[in-house]
Amino acid sequence: MFKDFITNASLLVTSFFIIGQLFKDYRLRPSSSWKMKTALGVCFGLQGILLMIYSVRVNEFVIVDLRHIPTVVAAMQGGPVSAVVSAIIITFGRIGLFGPSHSSIVASILMLLIGITCGALAGRKGLSLRRFLLLNTVAMIYVSAAVSLNLHMNALLQQLASILAYHWLISTVVGLLSLYAFLYIVRAHESTRQLQESEARYKRLITASPDATLVLSQDLIVFINEKGIRLLRAAARKELLGRSIYDFFHPDNRNTAWTHCQDIRSGKAQPELIEQKLVCLDDTEIIVELSVSPTVYKGSAALLVTLRDITGRKTTERQLQEALALLQKLSDLDGLTGIANRRKLDEHLAEAWSGCAASRSPLSVIMFDVDHFKAFNDSYGHLGGDEVLRTIASTANAVLLQQSHFIARYGGEEFACVLTEVGAEEAYEWAESIRMAVERLALPYKQSDASQYVTVSLGLATLVPDASAPPEQLIDLADKALYQAKAEGRNRTVCYGSTDETADQ
């Protein structure tokens, strides 16, 4: 008899597994639809009939088995509907298999009572081991009553204790074992279904994302949305699936991208937006904002990569920077002559003053202007005067550019030059180079009493700057030297504080 119970237990566990597989795509619970509850009751009823086929025959009048367990589980899983349906099917199976008899009728009535009672007691809380023990105890009380009645009617009460002891023990142990197996199956299917639903939502989100989104498994593309297909210039998804993501990184930053992905995968780095250059399938180079984060895809660790094309934005930013640089340059230039203006002169002189003060180096300033320029304007007109100023500015700038010295229009027809780390003697040579270069232009000026050509007068001053003193004092000294050059006859260079270094033309 013990071996027969073990056979029943094996059938019970196996059939639970089959039922679990049949309903793996459905949520089995007391709140399920009545159709689902009925289908569940039918399956558990057939399970009970299967157990009866391999029932344990105590004698020609009494048979015992585990048929009540499917009804108990049906009650917990599907509520009263499933419990009653399974009990009815088992009842008809009992009469059909063993024929109508007093014992069959008693067993059938008790089976119906088990279905109704367990269905009523099960409630809507689903499967649990504690509730199974309660319902199994109730069912076994009915079963024990039926067994006792049959044994009494056949004068076999002396076997009652041993039969019930085996039955209660096997029913409880095997019932708990089979319920645990069924719980495991149901929960495993539920977890799988939740994972599938999560992945389905995940795919829908990725598909609807306005950004290019792809999933990497072992650095290979296993999923990519339509935006990503278009971004990488592919005609179809199959052109990208299975390819390494690093095939699309520009060679200049491929190693950086690989390191970043590995750090994200290992947890050494946190997801952040980084800029990368990609090379598409048609060899187009684009700049993207890239974000990499760990994820799970089809149950395995993966990387979620989001790409946003910022090529247009970067182009706009570059053009804006170029425009700002040009604007800054234009704001530093004199509109007429094209060289630096007075504001830029003040900035440059202040920087040169600080630098030379720190290094204790000499700083020289040359001031010069066009001789008799007002009279020139009166004779040749303002347009002629403007052209002379442009020509002289360009000529002096060309002279000073040989050593990257600085020149600016100081105002009107006056110009200023800043020579960093240049002493008085060398500054004088530069001033003379400017004066002679202008003279070689041979710009006609018939009304001049200094020369028949346009000339300039120059004054220079040299100091080793004192950081506590204002740099404007060097401009004042050079301007005084220029005033002296004009007073001495123009077309000459005068160094402040010296009359020996004056060159007359």
Question: Active-site positions?
Answer: 413
Residue with tokens 């089979």: 178
Q: How far apart are CA 225 and CA 210, in angstroms?
A: 10
Written as six digits, the tokens of 264 are: 């994200």
Positive or negative, the CA dihedral 369, 375, 378, 379 is: negative
Helix (H, G, I), strand (E, B) or coil at 286: strand
Helix-helix angle 472-487:342-359, to 10 degrees: 110
According to DSSP, the residues that pair with 249 across neighbouring strands are 278
CB neighbour class for 166 (10 Å; exposed up to 12, middle 13-18, buried from 19): middle
How many beta carbons lie within 10 A of that of residue 196, not counting itself? 12
33 in Cβ contact with 23 (< 8 Å) = no
Select from 35, 131, 142 the least CA-distant residue to 91.
142
Q: Distance of CA 474 to CAs 305, 349, 350, 430, 462, Å?
A: 62, 9, 11, 17, 7
